[in-house]
């Protein structure tokens, strides 16, 4: 069974930060990485670890 995790990016002081939208997924990733954001390298490692059963999809930032 494949899972798609949606994330959005935000520019903060010239740095591109990526945030997972689903709160439960974000919590798990925070426990794994120790960070509130995720990077391209971490996304690739999670894909590798799960034998590509987890995919990531960039979406538009939620409206606040």
Per-residue pLDDT tens for 14-60? 999 999 999 999 999 999 999 999 999 999 999 999 999 999 999 99
Q: What is the Cα–Cα distance from 22 to 17, expressed in whole angstroms?
A: 16
**What does the pLDDT read at residue 1?**
75
**What does the pLDDT read at residue 63?**
84
Q: What is the Cα–Cα distance from 59 to 51, expressed in whole angstroms?
A: 23
Q: Is the pLDDT of residue 11 over 90?
A: yes
**What does the pLDDT read at residue 14?**
95
């Amino acid at each position: 069974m494949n899972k798609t995790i949606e994330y959005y990016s935000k520019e903060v002081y010239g740095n591109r930060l990526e945030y997972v939208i689903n709160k439960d997924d974000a919590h798990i990733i925070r426990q794994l990485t120790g960070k509130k954001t995720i990077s391209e390298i971490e996304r690739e490692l999670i894909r590798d670890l799960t034998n590509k059963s987890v995919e990531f999809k960039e979406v538009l930032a939620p409206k606040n």
